[in-house]
Amino acid sequence: MKYLVLTDLHGKRSAMDWINPLIKNEGIDCVLFLGDAVELPTAPEESIKMIGMIECKRILAIPGNIDSPDMIGMIDQVAENMHGKGKQVGDVYIAGFGGSNPTIFDTPCEFQEDAISEALEKVSKEGMVLMVHAPAYGINDQIPSGLSVGSKAILDICKKYRPKVVLSGHIHEAFGRQDIDGTIYVNPGPAKDGRAAIMTVDGGKIDVRLLGPTD
């Protein structure tokens, strides 16, 4: 299967001008959306409308920290809700958790670290693909000052369950791929800036390719 990984649209509707043709041209089977569909301030309906503009037969989605928590119960209108859930999709088990650990901005969809840990413990499995909005602490999580602002709870889950792939967004400038202890960590970068990733799953083999604005 071929997955398109998107995050951080932040209300940029014109991004669909490249996203939807890419889905068609690449033969994408499923979109994994990692949150922040819109920009503040927003109503939950706006996040749902934005996700609904993605033209793919199957979309798995979680909220970002900017999205209203009220949109979580509405995701199933346009996609499969993966917030605090896990499911088998083809050859891989995917677990998800949206929002972020606490930030200095007090955004709408933030969770304490113990709540993140408790929710992920319920759905995590060895060798999963983990889709989260916030990155694991110390990996794809540095803001321009050099400070790491990722989630320590997510890092602990990764160390315990050793996912095959961890997909995150949230920190726009920390896009990239890191391969650590057998896990591929990917922040595709904000879709509002023309960034995404393609994850290809072929049996037990998984690879992830980053796409930039010129690709």
For the entire predicted model, the pTM comes to 0.97
What does the alpha-carbon distance between residue 116 and residue 108 come to, in Å, rounded to a whole number? Answer: 15
Q: Which of 93, 97, 22, 96 is nearest to 65 (CA)?
A: 97
Q: What is the pLDDT of residue 39?
A: 94
**Is 41's pLDDT higher than 90?**
no
Confidence of residue 16 (pLDDT cuts 50, 70, 90): very high
Count of domains observed in the chain? 1
SS (H, E, C) 121-180: HHHCCCCCEEEECCCECCCCCECCCCCECCEHHHHHHHHHHCCCEEECCCCHHHCEEEEE
75-113: pLDDT as tens digits: 999 999 999 999 999 999 999 999 999 999 999 999 999
Q: What is the pLDDT of residue 40?
A: 87
Contacts of 118 (CB under 8 A, 6+ apart): none
Average pLDDT over residues 177-189: 98
113-155: pLDDT as tens digits: 999 999 999 999 999 999 999 999 999 999 999 999 999 999 9
**Is 214's pLDDT higher than 70?**
no
Range of the domain at 186: 2-211
What does the alpha-carbon distance between residue 20 and residue 56 come to, in Å, rounded to a whole number? Answer: 8
CATH of the domain at 46: 3.60.21.10
For residue 115, which phi and psi values (nearest 5 degrees)?
-70, -40
